[in-house]
Amino acid sequence: MNKQKIIVPAVVAAVLLLGITVGVVFGGPFIASAYSNAAGTATPTTPATPTKTTTNPYCELYLKDLANRLHVSVATLRQAQMGAHEDVLAQLVRDGKLTQKQADAIKQRLASHTECAGNGSRMEMHLVGYFLQKYVPDMTSQVAQGLHLSAGQLQAQLKEGKSLNDIAAAQHVSSSQLHTIVMNALQSALTKAVSAGDLTQQQANQFMQYVQNHPGAVNHLLSHHYMRMK
């Protein structure tokens, strides 16, 4: 009985860390998507097509290792994590940070999400984005120059929640021109990151390819950086 009383608080505390670690490292894009959809942000959707489910081995290893250290099963750990998510969402509603409808939408997405789904490529790209944060000011200056703005003006508009597409349109810069401006700024940042040892050349190449397939990634990188500074 005493052992169980000790383990349960430990599980709860660990799951809070699990929610942060796994949520940010392995599921950051998912959580962001869930919040955006719940908040009413338009997100392009495509018809669901049957695909072979893959799992991220590092995510699974983390869960198994943590569960083993706490002397509980992975199933118990997952159950406690879901309970912690629900408690935090309820507190966000009480604090007025989310509406109940938004919280319910996020909870539904969390319940239907396979936690370690994916082969890890999105995790890797998320980490590359994290290590690129220190180069965001340089990217901002280069993009701003291409948009005929000062870095401060571009930063202010990003803080207001405007997208690069919106800003470019207001500056009479075409989508194709914006794409070139953004990709050149990104390539410059990646080159600096590789030279400084912050990224490997392979990571830089993979991220460039990722951005080619996800053109909104740089917009998210810049906007997220400055929105946090509010």
What is the full per-residue pLDDT of the chain (230 aa) written as tens digits?
A: 444 443 444 443 343 444 444 443 334 443 344 444 444 443 444 444 444 556 778 788 888 999 999 999 999 998 998 899 899 999 989 999 889 998 898 888 888 776 676 655 666 777 788 889 999 999 999 999 999 999 999 999 999 989 999 999 999 999 999 999 999 999 999 999 999 999 999 999 999 998 988 888 899 889 888 877 65
For residue 63, give the nearest of 96, 28, 95, 17 by alpha carbon.
17
Measured distance CA(130)–CA(217) in Å, rounded? 12
Measured distance CA(132)–CA(139) in Å, rounded? 10
List the Cα angle 24/88/224 in 5-degree steps. Answer: 40
Residue with tokens 């470019």, as numbered in its chain: 168
Measured distance CA(56)–CA(130) in Å, rounded? 19
pLDDT of residue 48: 42
pLDDT in tens, 134-145: 999 999 999 999
pLDDT of residue 195: 96
pLDDT of residue 19: 46
CA dist 48 to 45, 51, 125, 134, Å? Answer: 9, 9, 23, 37
Measured distance CA(64)–CA(48) in Å, rounded? 30
For residue 22, give the nearest of 72, 80, 89 by alpha carbon.
80
pLDDT of residue 25: 37
The CA dihedral of 107, 113, 119, 124, to the nearest 10 degrees, is: -10
Measured distance CA(190)–CA(201) in Å, rounded? 9
DSSP 8-state assignment for residue 117 = B
Q: Give the 3-state secondary structure of residue 64.
A: helix
Distance of CA 51 to the CA centre of its chain: 23
